[in-house]
């Protein structure tokens, strides 16, 4: 059970915006005070670079920065801290994987399996890699409601399939894909699996060891941490085979004027340049906060709120819901006859923050039949009272009011 009053007190954004109902946590989450304090502490007490200074402050910060690798590894149950590569977020993790692994190992005719639910960040890098290598992109057919169909997935396999890259949770439909089975089947066919965990890692317990997943990407800012950081988890032996995306300071051991370069080992080989130190320290605090509350409690609470929301929304006859089976806090819907963006602007005038549009999943209309939806995304600090207030507003929404609010 969550202590919702305590949780809400931990988030300054909630205290400072008493009239705002924030239902856009899948875009980015609010940050608890402990995360803000960690960032603030770094700048006010410990400001120095990592891995570079031969003085106490730099050692201290380097240690705290490296300790976060262990915090992340434990959080996703990775055995080896060297499997955690710091990145700028999911997008940079997915690009590192596509270019560092895909470009190096894929050849003409190899197949990359994706779905129509991909976020742009898990499709555009693969498009480029396919163009460069002659590999082919193929889409795994989903059920009509967007849920995953293991039989159709199995039918996609030929010897040419080398990479399967999927969201663990879709950012528009919120469905949790059966990752363990997906990975087992891919491995039986000698393909590797990359899970885009941007929406999963903040909301459900992710266990890379149990899943036996090859790669997992995620972003700090969606899981209560600062923006600008995230991670790529990879099996060490696969990371070791990959090329870095960037070259520069800190990722090399030595080089000479003839161009002989010795790069550092995994994970440092992928981490050129001064990183977002405060972001990593903040992410460390965010994970500790999530751990204190417990990922199982968060998942259960997300589910309770989501089912409540779907139940209330289903009772309205001016609404179409696109993901009625969701449990993870993401609800996509439309008000019949009203453009998603017009409705979102009207909701904003009533103090509700939701997202509208295609949510960067620009080919998902091939599954749900519409280009644009309203997406409400909930997290551990939201309440049923907020949902009730939103439902009353939706009930009262007309096309005239929406158009007026846009003018």
Ligand X SMILES: Cc1ncc(COP(=O)(O)O)c(C=O)c1O
Contacts with ligand X by CB under 6 A lie at: 89-91, 119, 121-122, 167, 171, 196, 198-199, 219
Nearer to ligand X, 218 or 381 (CB): 218
CA proximity to 231, closest of 288, 180, 287: 287
CA proximity to 405, closest of 352, 346, 362: 346
DSSP string computed for 29-90: ----HHHHHHHHHIIIII---SSS--SHHHHHHHHHHHHHHHHHHHHTT-S-GGGEEEESSH
Nearer to ligand X, 61 or 113 (CB): 113
**What own/partner pairs with CB < 8 Å and gap ≥ 24 does 247-250 have?**
247/272, 248/272, 248/273, 249/273, 249/274, 250/51, 250/52, 250/274
Nearer to ligand X, 367 or 391 (CB): 367
Catalytic position from the list 68, 156, 360, 402: 360
Tell the smallest beta-carbon distance from residue 332 to ligand X (Å).
13
Give CA angle at 244 (239, 246), nearest 5°. Answer: 150
Known active-site residue 156: no
Encoding tokens for residue 277? 């130190």
Pairing of strands 215-219, 230-234: antiparallel
Spatial strand order of the sheet with 230-234 comes to 84-87, 230-234, 215-219, 192-196, 161-167, 111-114, 136-139
Q: Tell me how far apart the alpha carbons of residues 160 and 205 are, in angstroms, rounded to a whole number.
A: 32
Nearer to ligand X, 100 or 167 (CB): 167
Q: Tell me how far apart the alpha carbons of residues 49 and 62 are, in angstroms, rounded to a whole number.
A: 8
Encoding tokens for residue 316? 């309205």
Question: What is the per-residue burial (b if ≥16 Cβ within 10 Å, else e) of 251-279?
Answer: bbeeeeeeeeeebbebbbbbbbeebbbbb
Tell the smallest beta-carbon distance from residue 89 to ligand X (Å).
3
Encoding tokens for residue 304? 């309770």
Phi, psi for residue 312 in degrees, rounded to 5: -65, -40
CA proximity to 96, closest of 224, 237, 201, 196: 196
Tell the smallest beta-carbon distance from residue 56 to ligand X (Å).
34
Nearer to ligand X, 216 or 335 (CB): 216
CA proximity to 29, closest of 226, 173, 200, 195: 226
Nearer to ligand X, 68 or 93 (CB): 93
Nearer to ligand X, 171 or 327 (CB): 171
Q: Which residues are catalytic?
A: 360
């Amino acid at each position: 059970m969550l202590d919702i009053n305590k949780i809400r007190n931990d988030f300054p954004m909630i205290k400072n915006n008493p009239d705002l109902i924030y239902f856009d946590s899948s875009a980015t989450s609010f940050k608890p005070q402990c995360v803000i304090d960690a960032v603030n502490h770094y700048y006010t007490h410990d400001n120095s670079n990592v891995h570079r200074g031969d003085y106490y402050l730099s050692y201290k910060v380097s240690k705290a920065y490296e300790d976060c690798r262990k915090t992340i590894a434990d959080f996703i149950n990775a055995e080896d801290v060297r499997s955690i590569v710091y990145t700028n977020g999911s997008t940079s993790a997915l690009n590192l994987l596509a270019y560092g692994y895909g470009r190096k190992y894929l050849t003409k005719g190899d197949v990359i399996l994706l779905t129509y639910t991909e976020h742009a960040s898990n499709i555009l890098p693969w498009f480029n890699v396919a163009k460069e290598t002659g590999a082919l992109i193929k889409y795994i057919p989903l059920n009509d409601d967007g849920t995953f169909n293991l039989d159709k997935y199995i039918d996609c396999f030929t010897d040419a399939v080398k990479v399967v890259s999927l969201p663990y949770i879709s950012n528009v439909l919120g469905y949790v894909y059966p990752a363990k089975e997906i990975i087992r089947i891919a491995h039986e066919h000698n393909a590797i699996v990359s899970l885009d965990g941007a929406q999963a890692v903040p909301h459900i317990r992710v266990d890379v060891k149990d899943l036996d997943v090859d790669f997992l990407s995620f972003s700090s800012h969606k899981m209560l941490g600062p923006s600008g950081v995230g991670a790529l988890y990879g099996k060490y032996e696969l990371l070791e085979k990959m090329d870095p995306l960037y070259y520069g300071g800190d990722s090399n051991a030595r080089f000479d004027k003839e161009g002989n370069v010795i790069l550092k080992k995994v994970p440092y080989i992928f981490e050129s340049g001064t990183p977002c130190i405060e972001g990593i320290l903040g992410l460390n605090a965010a994970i500790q906060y999530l751990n204190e509350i417990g990922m199982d409690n968060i998942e259960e609470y997300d589910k309770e709120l989501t089912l409540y929301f779907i139940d209330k929304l289903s009772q309205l006859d001016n609404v179409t819901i696109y993901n009625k089976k969701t449990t993870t806090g993401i609800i996509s819907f439309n008000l019949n006859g009203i453009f998603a963006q017009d409705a979102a602007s009207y909701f904003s005038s009533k103090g509700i923050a939701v997202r509208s549009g295609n949510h960067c999943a620009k080919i998902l209309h091939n599954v749900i039949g519409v280009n644009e939806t309203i997406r409400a995304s909930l997290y551990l600090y939201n309440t049923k009272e907020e949902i009730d207030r939103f439902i009353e507003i939706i009930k009262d929404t007309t096309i005239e009011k929406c158009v007026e609010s846009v003018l």
